């Protein structure tokens, strides 16, 4: 939680006569409050300054809306944690790990992540208002291009919207606010609630098209799965659908496990199943440890290495990794079995335009870090 150590700092401050530094996920407004109320004498920030090294200057200038929000996602520490583990194994190791940041693609490589005004301003159409598309539009516009962003939904954000719903992921909604503010400030033309077609893209006469069309969810062929009880994880997280008291989540990646925590908080009985031998295999070490511990406390059942072997009137029949036969009875089945890239118009766009860039999940479903990095690189290369 934000300011998680401030209460401790206050207790220390009442008992010592030296300056006390408050730390622990502190954003500018909270830090200002802590100093004003005498909770701490000094505020220290770590990850927030990796996300935006200019945070202090922006705060001092009153430009809080321009601060890139830290997601507290531990992307920055995963490489460092691996280096620490390696040092424990081999005290002579010189591994320093790789510094990364979900929202700052230049973290640790600032000299290589600069951009300059475009020599020839172009008309750029960006399709897709997720993190990749928004960053590509932002950087392209800052370089002087005339940029239009087309998004089929009525709001920007893409997968960031459902991604901000699970427990402890609320900071992702701040990233949506940041991008929305920045795109309006720099003058990107936003066409929201509009389906991109070859005709309306062509009518803009673009010199470059950035396709950031996201993904479509995978629907696995599972015997005995009652389609009337099936919903998608994104729709659950955004409140588009309701679920019953007993839920089976099919797919144990980050989305599936976070949805499990989200539903367990509502008092649902949740089981997560996956055919792979390990859940959340693409998540960082810290995220895995934290989320597994949380799901255990919430009594979420996790079944890995399962096989679908048949069906029954009550639901799909599986064989567990231990060889046990079980029937997955549920009021609702939530699909979180992955996603495939949406490349619906890419072939037609490549046939009609020379400068077509496919980025983000439309290239390959991955993480926020990958989407924003590709958006940045595309924006500065056009």
| pLDDT at residue 224, rounded to an integer | 87
Whether the predicted pLDDT of 168 surpasses 90:
no
Confidence of residue 277 (pLDDT cuts 50, 70, 90): very high
Distance CA 260, CA 254 (A): 10
pLDDT digits (tens, 9 = 90+) for 313-323: 999 999 999 99
pLDDT digits (tens, 9 = 90+) for 60-82: 999 999 999 999 988 887 766 56
The two beta strands, 315-319 and 307-312, are antiparallel
pLDDT digits (tens, 9 = 90+) for 88-112: 667 776 655 677 899 999 988 888 8
Helices and strands, counts by H and E, the chain: 14, 17
pTM, two decimals, is: 0.91
Q: Is residue 54 part of a domain?
A: yes
Whether the predicted pLDDT of 359 surpasses 80:
yes
Q: Is residue 323 part of a domain?
A: yes
| pLDDT at residue 34, rounded to an integer | 97
The per-residue pLDDT of the chain, averaged, comes to: 93
Domain CATH number, residue 312:
3.50.50.60
Q: Which of 155, 216, 214, 225 is nearest to 183 (CA)?
A: 155
Q: Which residue has the tokens 């799909």?
A: 316
* Kind and range of the H or E run holding 174: helix 171-186
208 and 346 co-located in one domain = yes
Mean pLDDT of 209-227: 93
Mean pLDDT of 118-127: 97
333 and 352 co-located in one domain = no
199 and 245 co-located in one domain = no
- Give the chain's domain count: 3
Q: Is residue 78 part of a domain?
A: no
Mean pLDDT of 344-362: 96
* Residue range(s) defining the domain that contains residue 250: 219-337
């Amino acid at each position: 939680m934000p300011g998680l150590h401030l209460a401790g700092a206050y207790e220390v401050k009442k008992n010592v006569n030296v300056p006390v530094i408050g730390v622990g996920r502190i954003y500018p407004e909270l830090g200002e409050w802590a100093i004003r109320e005498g909770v701490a004498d000094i505020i220290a920030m770590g990850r927030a300054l990796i996300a935006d090294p200019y945070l202090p200057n922006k705060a001092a200038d009153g430009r809080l809306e321009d601060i890139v929000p830290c997601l507290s996602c531990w992307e920055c520490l995963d490489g460092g944690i691996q280096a620490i583990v390696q040092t424990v194994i081999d005290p002579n190791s010189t591994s320093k790990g790789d510094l990364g940041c979900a929202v700052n693609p230049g973290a640790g490589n600032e000299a290589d992540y600069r951009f300059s005004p475009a020599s020839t301003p172009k008309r750029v159409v960006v399709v897709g208002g997720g993190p990749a598309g928004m960053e590509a539009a932002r950087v392209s516009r800052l370089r002087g291009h005339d940029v239009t962003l087309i998004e089929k939904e009525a709001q920007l954000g893409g997968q960031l919207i459902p991604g901000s719903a699970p427990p402890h992921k609320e900071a992702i909604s701040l990233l949506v606010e940041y991008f929305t503010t920045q795109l309006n400030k720099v003058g990107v033309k936003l066409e929201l609630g509009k389906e991109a077609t070859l005709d309306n893209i062509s009518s803009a006469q673009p010199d470059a098209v950035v396709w950031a069309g996201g993904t479509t969810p995978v629907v696995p062929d599972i015997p005995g799965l009652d389609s009337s009880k099936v919903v998608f994880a994104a729709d659950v997280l955004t409140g588009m659908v309701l679920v019953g008291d007993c839920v089976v989540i099919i797919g144990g990646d980050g989305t599936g496990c976070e949805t499990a925590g989200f539903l367990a908080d509502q008092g649902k009985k949740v089981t997560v199943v996956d055919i792979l031998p390990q859940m959340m295999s693409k998540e960082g070490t810290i995220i895995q440890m934290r989320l597994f511990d949380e799901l255990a406390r919430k009594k979420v059942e996790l079944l890995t290495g399962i096989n679908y072997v048949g069906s029954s009137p009550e639901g799909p029949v599986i064989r567990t990794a231990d060889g046990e036969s079980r029937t997955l009875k549920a009021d609702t089945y939530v699909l979180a079995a992955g996603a495939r890239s949406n490349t619906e118009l890419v072939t037609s766009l490549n046939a009609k335009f020379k400068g077509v860039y496919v980025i983000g999940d439309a290239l390959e479903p991955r993480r926020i870090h990958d989407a924003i990095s590709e958006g940045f690189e595309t924006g500065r290369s056009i």
